[in-house]
Structure 1
Amino acid sequence: MSPDHLWSLAALAGATFLGASTQRISGVGFALVASPFLVMILGPFNGVIVVNVFGTLTALLVFVQVFRQVEYRRVFAMMIPAIIAVVPGSWVASHAPPALLSTLIGAMIILALVASLTVRQAPALQSRFGAAAAGFVSGFMNVTAGVGGPAVTAYALASRWKHAAFAVSIQLYFFGVGLASLAAKHSVPALDLPQWAACAAALVLGIVLGNYVGPKIPAKASRAAVVVLAFTGAALLLVNGILALA
């Protein structure tokens, strides 16, 4: 196995591990943390598919542990518009040039993070329309950039959805939207067997770690860590995309 392939395995496993552990701890960490790095490693289209696959699996593995605590009505108010938005989003993901798509993904992640941190007092997001709008934006971003968390996080903050309830309920949302995103693309990740194995092992280890340390980490601290990691990855991805376009 060549050094380049070993580096690729380590990078894939590291990104997946970070994403899975933060997802279990904060509720919305997988795509935000893993997407920029996986896109840089695998390219924008294949990288986002990998995010969709392992993000969906992470959400499912967490959901089966907490399904009794899920607030199903609030979840479906966001999920239905999100699945509708997957259709135009999948067309963009399939037809945009790779360099342009990388730039758009980095920019969308940064803008979405900024929005999620600044719209906490937005009255429009506190209504059913706000839930639907957040779901639509989230679904579009999930299929194009692999990142659906910031929009629904903004809705949760604006509507004063308790963090503990949101963190468990949103797993069903990510599972449903992730399946819709994969179905719309009609594609699977182009990974070899060692890469699949490395990502799967990192996924399980990340969730196990999240189960152990999650209750010990304050919600504000876990969210801050996710934001810092996501901003770092998105900024690097944006710069790489701009350089490729130039």
Structure 2
Amino acid sequence: MSLPDAWSLAALAGATFLGASTQRISGVGFALVASPFLVALLGPFDGVLLVNVLGTVTALLVFVQVFRMVEYRRVLLMLGPAVLAVVPGSWVATHAPSAVLSVLIGGMVIAALAVSLTLKQLAPLQGRLGAAAAGFVSGFMNVTAGVGGPAVTAYALATRWRHAAFAASAQLYFFGVGLASLLAKHSLPQLDGPQWLACSIALAGGIILGNWLGPKIPTRASRAAVIVLAFTGAVLILVEGVVALV
């Protein structure tokens, strides 16, 4: 193996490791942390596909550890509309200008997060309607922009969802949405054996690190990390769209 190939493999493993550990600690963040690096290494098509695959597997592996804390009713209220949104989202991602989508989605999520943080009670995001709306937007974002976490985070903030329960419940949600997105795309990333092996080892290592660090990090710090990650993802989507339009 040449030195450039070795560095590329190490970068692939490093991005996967960071994404998996972040997801285990905070409940969200695999795509936000890993996506920029994986897309830069593999290109937009295979990079986003790999984010979908690894994010789905990470969510499943974390879910089997925390399933007793999952609030299944709330997950189902979001997951149904999210899966439905994957269908029009996959069509829009293929036919509509991605720059316009990025601006609209990023702007809406930033607004929702900002209002959720400034108002104690946000009526539009309360109850079943709020869960359905958050799930639909999240599912649409997941298949069009590769990032479904910010919309779900906005819902969790608006409803004052207890962080430990949200972090656990989000794993089942992200597994379902990720699986639906992969089925809609009918494709897998074109990686060779060493790349798949490196990603698998790094993913397992990231979850192990997250298992160890998670209990040591205060709930307030974990929630703050979720908010930062959600805002970061929304801003990145918005900026990407504006730059493309300009």
Q: 1:80 to 1:145 in 2, by over 3 A?
A: same
What is the Cα deviation at residue 182 of structure 1? 0.2
1:55-70 equivalent positions in 2, closer than 5 A: 55-70=55-70
Residue 180 in structure 1 maps to residue 180 in structure 2? yes
User: How big is each residue's C-alpha offset from its partner over 1:186-211, in whole Å with a ceiling of 9 and x where there is no partner?
Assistant: 00011111111111111100000000
Secondary structure (helix, strand or coil) at the match of 1:147 reads coil
What is the Cα deviation at residue 36 of structure 1? 2.5
Contact 1:79 1:176 in 2 (8 A): yes
Q: Provide structure 1 residue ranges, at least 5 long, that are not aligned to the other structure.
A: none
Tell me which amino acid in the other structure corresponds to 2:216. Answer: K
Which residue in the other structure is 2:170 paired with?
170
Which residue in the other structure is 2:16 paired with?
16
Contact 1:32 1:226 in 2 (8 A): no
Instruction: Tell me the distance in 2 between the aligned counterparts of 1:44 and 1:61.
Output: 25
Contact 1:59 1:175 in 2 (8 A): yes
Which residue in the other structure is 1:204 paired with?
204
* Greater alpha carbon shift after TM alignment, 115-124 vs 68-77: 115-124
What is the Cα deviation at residue 236 of structure 1? 7.4
Tell me which amino acid in the other structure corresponds to 2:137. Answer: V
Tell me which amino acid in the other structure corresponds to 2:29. Answer: G
Which residue in the other structure is 2:116 paired with?
119
User: How big is each residue's C-alpha offset from its partner over 1:119-167, in whole Å with a ceiling of 9 and x where there is no partner?
Assistant: 2432210121111010001001111222111101110110111001111
User: How big is each residue's C-alpha offset from its partner over 1:25-76, in whole Å with a ceiling of 9 and x where there is no partner?
Assistant: 0101212211232223222222211111011100100111111221111000
* Greater alpha carbon shift after TM alignment, 145-154 vs 37-46: 37-46
Residue 215 in structure 1 maps to residue 202 in structure 2? no
Q: 1:240 to 1:177 in 2, by over 3 A?
A: closer
Contact 1:77 1:132 in 2 (8 A): yes
Contact 2:29 2:229 in 1 (8 A): no
Which residue in the other structure is 1:193 paired with?
193
Tell me which amino acid in the other structure corresponds to 1:35. Answer: S
Instruction: Tell me the distance in 1 between the aligned counterparts of 2:157 and 2:234.
Output: 22
Secondary structure (helix, strand or coil) at the match of 2:147 reads coil
Tell me which amino acid in the other structure corresponds to 2:109. Answer: A
1:140-155 equivalent positions in 2, closer than 5 A: 140-155=140-155
Q: 1:156 to 1:163 in 2, by over 3 A?
A: same
Tell me which amino acid in the other structure corresponds to 1:157. Answer: L
User: How big is each residue's C-alpha offset from its partner over 1:87-123, in whole Å with a ceiling of 9 and x where there is no partner?
Assistant: 1222233456xxx748966985686356434424322
Q: 1:84 to 1:215 in 2, by over 3 A?
A: same
Q: 1:194 to 1:116 in 2, by over 3 A?
A: farther
Instruction: Tell me the distance in 1 between the aligned counterparts of 2:50 and 2:28.
Output: 16
How many residue pairs get aligned? The number is 243
Tell me which amino acid in the other structure corresponds to 2:23. Answer: Q
Contact 1:9 1:198 in 2 (8 A): yes
Q: Normalization by structure 2: what TM-score?
A: 0.85
Instruction: Tell me the distance in 2 between the aligned counterparts of 1:231 and 1:239.
Output: 12
Contact 1:17 1:202 in 2 (8 A): yes
Q: Normalization by structure 1: what TM-score?
A: 0.85
Secondary structure (helix, strand or coil) at the match of 1:119 reads helix
RMSD of aligned alpha carbons: 2.8
Secondary structure (helix, strand or coil) at the match of 2:160 reads coil
Which residue in the other structure is 1:157 paired with?
157
